[in-house]
Amino acid sequence: MDEWLHLFFAKNAKFDTAGLSHDEYLSFFNLAVTIHIPTRGTEIYYDNVKAKFPDVQQLPRFFESPDLGHRSGGKGGQPTTVFAALRRWVENGTAPDTLPVEFSGGNGTTYSRIPCPYPAQAKYIGGDVSSVNSFRWL
Protein backbone atom coordinates (compact mmCIF):
# COMPACT_ATOMS: atom_id res chain seq x y z
CA MET A 1 0.00 0.00 0.00
CA ASP A 2 2.84 2.41 0.78
CA GLU A 3 4.31 2.04 -2.73
CA TRP A 4 0.86 2.68 -4.19
CA LEU A 5 0.53 5.87 -2.13
CA HIS A 6 4.05 7.00 -3.10
CA LEU A 7 3.73 6.45 -6.82
CA PHE A 8 0.08 6.96 -7.72
CA PHE A 9 -1.40 9.36 -5.21
CA ALA A 10 1.43 11.50 -3.86
CA LYS A 11 3.30 11.05 -7.19
CA ASN A 12 6.53 11.24 -5.21
CA ALA A 13 8.74 8.19 -4.61
CA LYS A 14 10.20 9.89 -1.52
CA PHE A 15 6.79 10.63 0.04
CA ASP A 16 6.96 9.63 3.72
CA THR A 17 3.79 7.87 4.84
CA ALA A 18 5.23 7.58 8.34
CA GLY A 19 4.40 11.24 8.87
CA LEU A 20 0.71 10.76 8.08
CA SER A 21 -1.83 10.66 10.86
CA HIS A 22 -4.04 7.59 11.07
CA ASP A 23 -6.93 9.60 9.57
CA GLU A 24 -4.79 10.90 6.70
CA TYR A 25 -3.56 7.38 5.90
CA LEU A 26 -7.13 6.04 5.93
CA SER A 27 -8.20 8.89 3.69
CA PHE A 28 -5.54 7.93 1.11
CA PHE A 29 -6.43 4.25 1.49
CA ASN A 30 -10.16 4.87 0.99
CA LEU A 31 -9.42 6.95 -2.09
CA ALA A 32 -7.38 4.06 -3.50
CA VAL A 33 -10.22 1.62 -2.82
CA THR A 34 -12.79 3.76 -4.63
CA ILE A 35 -10.74 3.74 -7.83
CA HIS A 36 -11.75 0.27 -8.93
CA ILE A 37 -11.95 -0.57 -12.63
CA PRO A 38 -13.96 -3.68 -13.58
CA THR A 39 -12.02 -6.33 -15.52
CA ARG A 40 -14.39 -6.31 -18.49
CA GLY A 41 -13.98 -2.54 -18.80
CA THR A 42 -10.22 -3.01 -18.97
CA GLU A 43 -10.62 -5.70 -21.65
CA ILE A 44 -12.81 -3.38 -23.74
CA TYR A 45 -10.33 -0.51 -23.35
CA TYR A 46 -7.41 -2.76 -24.31
CA ASP A 47 -9.29 -4.13 -27.34
CA ASN A 48 -10.10 -0.57 -28.48
CA VAL A 49 -6.45 0.48 -28.15
CA LYS A 50 -5.37 -2.64 -30.08
CA ALA A 51 -7.85 -1.84 -32.89
CA LYS A 52 -6.21 1.57 -33.28
CA PHE A 53 -2.62 0.45 -32.60
CA PRO A 54 -2.06 -3.19 -33.69
CA ASP A 55 1.37 -3.34 -32.03
CA VAL A 56 -0.27 -2.68 -28.66
CA GLN A 57 2.19 -4.84 -26.67
CA GLN A 58 4.65 -1.98 -27.02
CA LEU A 59 2.21 0.22 -25.06
CA PRO A 60 0.08 -1.05 -22.15
CA ARG A 61 0.34 -4.53 -20.63
CA PHE A 62 -2.72 -6.18 -19.13
CA PHE A 63 -2.55 -9.27 -16.92
CA GLU A 64 -5.71 -10.75 -15.46
CA SER A 65 -5.41 -12.49 -12.13
CA PRO A 66 -8.53 -14.71 -11.89
CA ASP A 67 -10.19 -14.98 -8.49
CA LEU A 68 -7.98 -12.31 -6.94
CA GLY A 69 -10.02 -10.71 -4.20
CA HIS A 70 -10.56 -6.97 -4.05
CA ARG A 71 -7.10 -5.51 -3.22
CA SER A 72 -5.69 -8.92 -2.13
CA GLY A 73 -6.59 -12.43 -1.10
CA GLY A 74 -9.25 -14.50 -2.79
CA LYS A 75 -8.88 -17.96 -4.27
CA GLY A 76 -6.63 -16.86 -7.13
CA GLY A 77 -3.56 -15.73 -5.28
CA GLN A 78 -1.65 -12.53 -4.83
CA PRO A 79 0.56 -11.04 -7.56
CA THR A 80 4.02 -10.81 -5.97
CA THR A 81 6.12 -8.81 -8.42
CA VAL A 82 3.88 -6.00 -9.70
CA PHE A 83 5.81 -3.00 -8.37
CA ALA A 84 9.21 -4.53 -9.11
CA ALA A 85 8.07 -5.21 -12.70
CA LEU A 86 6.67 -1.69 -13.05
CA ARG A 87 9.90 -0.20 -11.73
CA ARG A 88 12.02 -2.24 -14.22
CA TRP A 89 9.75 -1.09 -17.06
CA VAL A 90 9.88 2.60 -16.11
CA GLU A 91 13.52 2.78 -15.06
CA ASN A 92 15.14 0.30 -17.48
CA GLY A 93 12.64 0.00 -20.35
CA THR A 94 12.14 -3.72 -19.65
CA ALA A 95 8.42 -4.43 -20.10
CA PRO A 96 7.00 -7.41 -18.16
CA ASP A 97 6.07 -10.60 -20.01
CA THR A 98 4.65 -12.24 -16.87
CA LEU A 99 3.51 -11.30 -13.37
CA PRO A 100 3.89 -14.38 -11.14
CA VAL A 101 1.13 -15.15 -8.63
CA GLU A 102 1.47 -17.16 -5.43
CA PHE A 103 -1.34 -18.50 -3.27
CA SER A 104 -1.89 -21.04 -0.54
CA GLY A 105 -4.10 -24.08 -0.89
CA GLY A 106 -6.49 -25.21 1.82
CA ASN A 107 -3.86 -27.53 3.27
CA GLY A 108 -1.21 -24.80 3.58
CA THR A 109 0.59 -25.75 0.35
CA THR A 110 1.90 -22.84 -1.71
CA TYR A 111 1.06 -22.79 -5.42
CA SER A 112 2.45 -20.61 -8.19
CA ARG A 113 0.91 -19.46 -11.43
CA ILE A 114 2.24 -17.25 -14.19
CA PRO A 115 -0.64 -15.23 -15.65
CA CYS A 116 -0.32 -14.55 -19.34
CA PRO A 117 -0.78 -11.15 -20.93
CA TYR A 118 -4.29 -10.49 -22.25
CA PRO A 119 -5.79 -11.73 -24.57
CA ALA A 120 -3.95 -15.05 -24.07
CA GLN A 121 -5.40 -17.49 -21.53
CA ALA A 122 -3.78 -20.16 -19.40
CA LYS A 123 -5.07 -23.71 -19.97
CA TYR A 124 -4.56 -26.70 -17.70
CA ILE A 125 -2.79 -29.40 -19.76
CA GLY A 126 -2.61 -32.10 -17.11
CA GLY A 127 -0.43 -33.13 -14.22
CA ASP A 128 -0.05 -31.70 -10.75
CA VAL A 129 -2.37 -28.68 -10.38
CA SER A 130 0.10 -27.15 -7.92
CA SER A 131 2.82 -27.06 -10.59
CA VAL A 132 3.18 -24.06 -12.85
CA ASN A 133 4.34 -26.53 -15.56
CA SER A 134 0.83 -28.03 -15.76
CA PHE A 135 -0.46 -24.94 -17.60
CA ARG A 136 0.18 -23.44 -21.05
CA TRP A 137 -0.80 -20.14 -22.60
CA LEU A 138 -3.27 -20.17 -25.49
pTM of the shown model: 0.54
Q: Is the pLDDT of residue 93 over 80?
A: yes
Instruction: State whether the Cα torsion 110-116-119-120 is positive or negative.
Output: negative
Within 10 A of 60 (CB to CB), how many other CB atoms are there?
Answer: 15
134 phi/psi in degrees, rounded to 5: -90, 10
Write the single-letter amino acid at 28. F
Going by DSSP bridges, is the β-strand pair 135-137/122-124 parallel, antiparallel, or unpaired?
antiparallel
- DSSP class of residue 112 equals E
Share of the chain above pLDDT 90, in %: 4
Domain ranges of the chain: 1-35, 40-137
Q: Is the pLDDT of residue 29 over 80?
A: no
pLDDT tens digit sequence for 37-88: 667 788 888 888 888 888 776 677 888 776 565 555 556 556 667 788 888 8
Question: What pLDDT shows up at residue 62?
Answer: 81
